[in-house]
Amino acid sequence: MKITFLGTSAGIPTKQRNVTAIAVQPHQQADWWLVDCGEGTQHQLLHTSLSLSRLTTIFITHLHGDHCYGLPGLLATRALQGGSQNIPLTLIGPAGIKALIEGICHHTQLYLNYPLTIIEVNSIPTTLTIDQHQIDVVPMEHNITSYGYLISPPDIPGHLDAAKAKALGIPPGPIYQQLKQGKQVILEDGREIDGSDLLSPTTPAPKVLIAGDNANPQQLLPWLKSVSLLIHESTLTEPELLRLATTIHHSTAAAVAKVANQAKLANLILTHFSARYRDSSNQGKLTINDIRQEASKHFHGQLFLAEDWQQYTLTTEGKLLLTQLIQKPNNTPAINC
């Protein structure tokens, strides 16, 4: 699975970061999903190889503008671009998203030349099946209805025991491909061989939980039991939250890190950073490194702080690799937090 961050800022964009959007490529193919679509997401996509015609599903965590104001432009551009005509698109989100899109289409006379299916999540638990992946909708604690999406890929098929096949007198060749798929085959001597008897057991694929805005990471613990990667907002640090002395309906780096560590997660990516945190050192100013330092005190797994256009690969073994950082348009080098 590949995960590309298209926007990592909370609330408003900065010069280095756009508002929230995450692209997910669940397969090796070019089809992909989008989790949240803040304003300017379609422009962020221009700096990637992702094609709107291969976008099959959009998940919206909640209806705050920094997570959904990019939808009208993206849907319209998909209709105007060649190659998208008649290719279905599914949009999933909280109650109200259908009225939002239908209102925009009506009042702006936006015509979509492809089937758009809108699925509103009205109750929890809700489980969906998208491209052979199980999607569990996870409730968040926020000042409006907010969800996360737990992505469970299909189990990884077992490997063919070639030595066992050879011992049965099955010669290597095209028939091995059928056996790898667990199919029954008939040999030249008339014997019937069940391919599933020659396969090692299937293994669960790594799971990913992409959380929406959430003030209470602790409530995610029941969902994190078998998760390999948590992607969660980290809007502020603890000292800044205390200084503000107000309810922000968001999480601090420490709060998320403590829960991730309690769940014994292998991988944690923090995103959705307040614009008050700068990307470079500036004496007397808050920096992204403050968030990293706070999180690293409490989480002992592999920790990443997302940047726009960073791409991660989650391997079938559950290892998370930073595989690509797309060159930023202004040629600003990547900042190591």
Binding-site residues for Zn(2+), in ranges, read: 62, 64, 66-67, 142, 213, 272
Structure tokens at 303: 């920790």
Containing H/E element for 119? strand 116-121
Domain ranges, residue 242: 2-156+203-325
Residue 332 in this model has a pLDDT that exceeds 70: no
Write down which residue in 198, 223, 250 finishes a domain.
198
Distance, C-alpha 159 to centroid of its chain: 28
291, part of any domain: yes
**Average pLDDT over every residue of 86-111:** 97
Write down which residue in 142, 170, 198 finishes a domain.
198
Question: What pTM was estimated for this model as a whole?
Answer: 0.90
**Average pLDDT over every residue of 304-312:** 97
Same domain, 31 and 104: yes
Residue 328 in this model has a pLDDT that exceeds 80: no
Task: Give pLDDT, residue 147.
Answer: 98
Q: Tell me: the pLDDT tens digits for 216-241?
A: 999 999 999 999 999 999 999 999 99
Torsion-angle region of 318 (φ positive above 0: left; ψ -120 to 50: alpha; else: beta): left
CATH number at residue 104: 3.60.15.10
Same domain, 275 and 187: no
213, part of any domain: yes
Residue 1 in this model has a pLDDT that exceeds 60: yes
76, part of any domain: yes
Same domain, 88 and 168: no
333, part of any domain: no
Looking at the chain, the whole-number percentage of residues with pLDDT higher than 70 is 95
Same domain, 253 and 274: yes
Task: Give pLDDT, residue 336.
Answer: 39
Q: Which of 66, 279, 290, 308 is catalytic?
A: 66
Same domain, 268 and 181: no
Task: Give pLDDT, residue 281.
Answer: 67
Residue 283 in this model has a pLDDT that exceeds 70: no
Same domain, 30 and 124: yes
Task: Give pLDDT, residue 282.
Answer: 66
289, part of any domain: yes
Binding-site residues, in ranges, read: 62, 64, 66-67, 142, 213, 272
C-alpha closest to that of 31 among 116, 90, 74:
90
Question: Could you give the strand order of the β-sheet that contains 147-152, starting from the edge strand earlier in sequence?
Answer: 126-130, 133-139, 147-152, 207-210, 227-233, 267-271, 302-305
Q: Tell me: the pLDDT tens digits for 53-98?
A: 999 999 999 999 999 999 999 999 999 987 778 899 999 999 999 9
28, part of any domain: yes
Same domain, 36 and 175: no
Task: Give pLDDT, residue 69.
Answer: 98
C-alpha closest to that of 99 among 89, 107, 90:
107
**Average pLDDT over every residue of 89-112:** 97
C-alpha closest to that of 296 among 241, 250, 256, 242:
256
Same domain, 145 and 176: no
Q: Is 290 a catalytic residue?
A: no
Same domain, 260 and 210: yes
Same domain, 101 and 180: no
Q: Tell me: the pLDDT tens digits for 147-169?
A: 999 999 999 888 888 888 888 88
222, part of any domain: yes
Q: What is the chain's mean pLDDT, rounded?
A: 92
Same domain, 306 and 183: no
336, part of any domain: no
Domain count, the chain: 2
Task: Give pLDDT, residue 284.
Answer: 65
Same domain, 213 and 245: yes
